Chain A
Amino acid sequence: MASKKLRKATGYLLEFACLLSALLVMLTLCLILYYIFRRGIAAVNIPFLTSLPTPVGEPGGGIGNALIGSAIMVGIGSLLAIPFGILAAIYLDQNPKSKLAAATRFANRVLTGIPSLIIGLFVFTVLVLRTGNYSALAGGIALAVMMIPIITLSAEEMLRLVPNSWREASLALGASKKQTVLMLVLPAATGGLVVGIMLAVALAAGQTAPVLLTALTSRFWLENLQQPAASLPVLIYTYASSPFPDWQEQAWGAALVLVTTILALNVAAQLFIAVRNRRL
């Protein structure tokens, strides 16, 4: 009898520990959001989102160019990383046991573990030093290098979740392997693929070091991709570590904008998946 009681008690205790941990994770996120919102909301208004930064002490000034710079660099990163990542994942899924697949998987896992600072230094050495200037393009490429392994690994997982029985149904109907991938595997895995892409986009949008080392920053509008570009993370880093209260306040505002954008993108992706599933 004693052992039964003990077993029950351990069960409750474990259940409580799990619940507590789940709440703690939620609480951390809520606290971060609450703080950013409370400190940042005062700074955010339309001119803040649409105007250039001003020198210290001058009132007004915004994050317009950083917002656009971030959007463009994450955009370049996505344009490069999404096709490469998905195509690589299709290769891994179709040739799961090949040596090249094993090597690719290993390389991707190592890449995800490399600090973003090192990736920034790499692109700095290969691109910035060679071309002689910091540029939005280099920033986008650095972000792509960060995104590719995340997209490849998550996409491969998602493609592998499409069961063999479905693929065989398609092949038995006389579809080629290529048709099976295009007409069955990719559509069936779309939800998961989008989630993986969103994860990579969110991560890229928040990167500071790779962008700082490749696109530097700028206090002007971006006119072409060969120019240095401002970005939200670098702006937040610069403003937050400055001694000027008005810059510090703007850093909170920029943080709020960055976090809200990432949240909104995630919610949009979830909605997209939900609507898609309902329409089926």
Chain B
Amino acid sequence: MTQSIAVQDLSVWFGRHQVLKNVSLYAKPKEVTALIGPSGCGKTTLLRCINRLHDLYSNATIHGKIMVGTENILGVNIDPVELRRRVGMIFQKPNPFPHLSIFENVAAGLRLHGLACGRAAAERVEACLRKAALWEEVKDSLDRPGIMLSGGQQQRLCIARALAIEPAVFLMDEPCASLDPVSTMRIEELIKELREDYTVIIVTHNMQQAARISQQTAFVLNGELVEAGPTAEMFIAAKDDRTEAYLTGQMG
């Protein structure tokens, strides 16, 4: 079951530098929410708070709430390791495990959490590779290293890897930034399919991409959420002048 994500009054500091200021955002289940804004505005930080990757870097201070479903995942009783199992993340640069084969990359999460082995694992790997639209290309070379694939294929492999452990929500940090237009289209198709089952939040620098795949768009500027709303409305008539300026290329 997918779950909604509700960010409430989130503020983040790295050392003394505040990178997010009282950000609130609601991402509906089975919708794609696009985070847009100039580089360094805090989009990625916001995304990485949702699976608590920032916990790894000790100088981060985080205030506020992030509700995934009905649970505040910033709460003290939340184990970030367990949380990350439920929050799938796709990174800007495809990062398949370098020492594992295509098959083992997808099976890694299954093995890690003891979800399936043997025949069941093989079936799950195939299902995930099919869902990630990669199966036809790799079914005869499952034993080859994951990093031998092209960039676009690697990114789809990473999506299959994340799918395998059935997360509740999907976070994507500019998943197409290092891909060519053809690969980008394939990933976008995939995101549209993922939407049917998952809550997706995607960071993108590509305004057309946000328009094509998202139902909601949120514009972040200098750590503040300027506005968020249905993508179709925002691209036609932004409420805030700064959003308008950004969307029309007069800023950033």
Contacts and interface: CB of A to CB of B under 8 A. Distances in A.
B99 A173 contact: no
Interface stretch (B16-24, B67-75, B88-96, B237-245): B88-96
Interface in A158-209: 165-166, 168-176, 179, 183-184, 187-188
Interface stretch (B106-114, B197-205, B212-220, B224-232): B106-114
B91 to A, nearest CB: 6
Contacts of B89: 168, 172
Contact of B108 (A173, A176, A188, A280): A173
B84 A174 contact: yes
Contacts, number: 64
A169 B98 CA distance: 11
Contact of A169 (B81, B87, B91): B91
Contact of A171 (B53, B86, B88): B53
Q: Tell me the dominant secondary structure on chain A's binding face.
A: helix
Contacts of B91: 165, 168-169, 172
Contacts of A169: 91, 95-97, 158, 161
Given A171-B84, A172-B89, A179 B56 contact: no
A174 B56 contact: no
B162 interface: yes
B153 interface: no
Interface string B54-83: 001000000000000000000000000110
Nearest to B90: A172
B56 A171 contact: yes
Contacts of B162: 172-173
B112 A179 contact: yes
Contacts of A172: 51, 53, 84, 87-89, 91, 162
A174 B99 contact: no
Interface residues of B, number: 29
Contacts of B87: 172
A187 B145 CA distance: 14
Contacts of B3: none
Interface in B91-132: 91, 93, 95-101, 108-109, 112-113
A250 to B, nearest CB: 46
A183 B107 CA distance: 13
Contacts of A166: 95, 97-98
Interface string B150-187: 00000000100110010000000000000000000000
Given A165-B91, A168-B91, A280-B145, A174 B109 contact: yes
Nearest to A179: B112
A180 to B, nearest CB: 10
A188 B95 contact: no
A187 B98 CA distance: 9
Interface of B: 51, 53, 56, 81-82, 84-89, 91, 93, 95-101, 108-109, 112-113, 145, 158, 161-162, 165
15 contacts: A165-B93, A165-B95, A168-B89, A169-B96, A172-B84, A172-B87, A172-B162, A174-B82, A174-B85, A174-B112, A176-B81, A184-B97, A188-B97, A280-B99, A280-B100
Interface of A: 165-166, 168-176, 179, 183-184, 187-188, 280
Given A170-B97, A170-B108, 10 more contacts: A166-B97, A168-B89, A169-B161, A174-B82, A174-B113, A174-B165, A179-B112, A183-B108, A183-B112, A280-B100
Top 10 nearest A-B pairs by Cβ distance? A174-B85, A172-B89, A169-B95, A165-B95, A174-B84, A280-B145, A187-B99, A173-B109, A176-B81, A188-B99
